[in-house]
Chains A and B, each alone.
Chain A
Amino acid sequence: MENTLIEMQFALDTFYFLVMGALVMWMAAGFSMLEAGLVRSKNTAEILTKNIGLFAIACTMYMVVGYDIMYGGGILLDGISGTGDKYSNAADFYFQVVFVATAMSIVSGAIAERMKLFAFFAFAVVFTAVIYPMEGAWTWNGDAVFGLFKLADLGFADFAGSGIVHMAGAVAALAGVLVLGARNGKYDAQGNSRAIPGANMPMATLGTFILWMGWFGFNGGSVLAMASKESANAVAMVFLNTNAAAAGGVIAALLLVKLLWGKADLTMALNGALAGLVAITAGPDTPSALEAALIGAVGGVLVVFSINVLDKVFKIDDPVGAISVHGVVGLWGLLAVPLTNSGASFSGQLAGAGTIFIWVFGTSMVLWLVLKAVMGIRVSEEEEFSGVDISECGLEAYPEFTK
């Protein structure tokens, strides 16, 4: 009977992983819809192709080699066959693989509307096979960074990946945008930023709600256990705090834009929600509900300023605001951990953020430059003008609507 009980725990934990993983997988749809809503209609089919393609690539490359690099388990998962100690190792892989895809999804939005599709896919292959798994190994798997030092020893803590997943994705995106340059027409002759409105706000909002929902899996699953009172309580608090932070992010962003510009800019409310979620991701387990809401609210404020500063001051053209939402706010999330978690230190968080930044930015930059040299990463000016849907995908997203 004891055995049966242990099996039940095994079963419940495995089930919990699978359900949480399915929610994270659902985030792939969220990113697709968010990005499809925030680009112009002439670039919509391409960004959809990019998103479903990158998800498939991430799932495949992580299976081939990424998971092995990050956690062991064998090339092509040959150590994974649906067994395991406390829960099925297949469930663990399933849960981990959707995280890789999330990191990769972040990149696609920032470089939208001007990049060659297959150059992006080539980047995705390397990022999901090597770049992400390496830094994942140093953090969540506790490996020493190039055998030199362990981040955990320095007091680094990133519960569900504000830094490891979100900031990493944003840093890869930043490198891409720097190599790629801004969209034609984004900056006028005087260098003034011009607004390029996205084509479909309901899609963007749907995407945000999908991400909000999926994030319960992202953070909730990162407790990594459910079948005891303690872990069940922990998962419940993580759900509660994740929701509170997202709500705080929306309210803060909405009030701020209303004060600044007199209008309740929907896109900022959406980014505020995501910023709240990114901000809490590094430590959804330790704050109280109020603290979580405030951490999210600071994220919501940050994202509004960050989007504007990156756009107007640094001329970094990020059509969906991914670098601000996931990068700047991801860093904030890391730095907020020591406020409520005595196990983490500011210096440790900075060390971790620095390590992730240097590794991901360096390798990504090299990779983008190689791709640029080898196959080119930017579509021609004419293709960009007519839209990448026609040039890359050969079809239109809304053939009957657009003009």
Chain B
Amino acid sequence: MTPVTNSIKSLFPIFSNHPALVYLDNAATSQKPKSVIQSVIDYYEKENANVHRGLYKLSSSATTRYEEVRNKVAKLIGASDPNSISFTKGTTESINVVAHGFLKKLLMAGDSVVISGMEHHANLIPWQQVCKEKKALLRIIPVDGDGNLDLSTLDSLLTTNTRLLAITHISNVLGTINPIEEIISCAHKKNIPVLIDAAQSAGHYPIDIKNLDADFLVFSAHKMFGPLGAGVLFSLEKYRNQIEPLNYGGGAIKNVEFDHTEFLEYPHNLEAGTPNISGVIGLGEAIDFIQSLDMKSSILYTNELMIYFKEKLNSLPFVKPFGNPVKSGSIVSFQVKNVHPHDVAGFLGNVNIAVRAGHHCAQPLLESLGVPSTVRVSFAIYNTKEDVDRTISALIDLKKFWS
């Protein structure tokens, strides 16, 4: 395994402050490198001012830096136009903008929206609620026992009445990497726009919008080494003037009279109110950090960890793993027989191993797995083989304790 990791770990202050911490809850939120934290500090200590074109240096440089991050984000996902990028507070908001601001207008009674059986609540409830309001159908691509999408159903699920397909790139529960190119091309043959939930993949896996041809793509800064409260909505040009904002207010307008408002164009029309400037600047810094790494080796590395962990896990007779997808990111779900997932997570937490137990905001998927909750371990580049070993040995201790 590449030894680069120890030096990477030293870039994340949380591990100097908690040397014993084994952080395996990366799918929930990643830790932040010093450079990202420093960019937020610098912003507040040296540059803090509101944007929207103030005529003093602080404000104009805040504006410039905020806008520059659109470039960085566009480059990260291979989009040619920085104005394809709208800043939101996170994946959840990005999806809601598309659901309420775009889809709702198009959706008629009897139409349908297609999602998969492994979606995060954020990529389910917004569509469900809009469908309910419009008397449209929410149709589900089923998930098989291994945690793969059953794509044989896709052709029949996508009909002339389907108005949108929304699907996650990587499952936050089972780690499944979905064949989104294939799915998108299938949908596009029927002229159905596709939203990709890249919350688990952006910044960690290569995304090239031009090849991918996704119509919308959404993600959060905080899961890719960036700050909380900042996210991204990418939209293809052809939809941009069809997306209405969730929020109306200052900074998003051309002209306001009491009886009439003219709005700015996408992406600015969606960014009413004082934006999370420090969050967006930190996102830019996170992208710089990501680009300082070699993404391919990072993936190989976290994959190796994941496989190493899975092998060790499979050797423990008291462990029941969930899912065995064809292609998998570095996320693993399991249960310890006869010990409730919360007791597992609590036990591991007590020896400084941070894992998550619960439904991982994917209740319908868990329902189909036949359990109310699992223990989830998710890796990032700062994790090590030692983290795996410590987790496995803690699981063995746990079992002893409980029998």
Are chains A and B native binding partners rather than an unrelated pairing? no
B residues near A (Cβ < 8 Å) are none
A residues near B (Cβ < 8 Å) are none
